[in-house]
Amino acid sequence: MKGQLTTGSIFDDLDLDPGQAEQLKIKAALFDVLVRYMNENGLTQKQASEIMGVQRSRIGDVCRGKISGFTIDALVSMAARAGLYPLQIAA
């Protein structure tokens, strides 16, 4: 298998509709920030779920990178409840 360099984002290289690619980039950025927040604060999944107002299983999905199971709206709400700034994250 021959390697290939990406043009900057794997989502751009997947030959997706430009709108879908942008949505996936926003979701990925929100996922990264949520996971970093949990790691930097030493939170358990239970603690994170209480802060973000979701079930613990949803936090597990974030930790496992199950991006397709979330809407941007849900991720923005989780980030906001954690005191993060979703508009800055997505920009």
CA distance 65 to 55: 16
- Count of domains observed in the chain: 1
Determine, yes or no, domain membership for 38: yes
Cβ neighbours of residue 90 closer than 8 Å, sequence gap 6 or more: 26, 29, 30, 76
Confidence category of residue 9, pLDDT binned at 50, 70, 90: low
pLDDT tens sequence across 48-77: 999 999 999 999 999 999 999 999 999 999
Q: Is residue 26 part of a domain?
A: yes
List, for residues 20-40, the tens digit of each pLDDT value: 888 888 999 999 999 999 999
Return the CATH number at 35. 1.10.260.40
* Residue 21 within a domain: yes
In a domain, 44, yes or no: yes
Can you give the C-alpha Rg of the chain in angstroms?
A: 14
Whether 4 is in a domain gets the answer: no
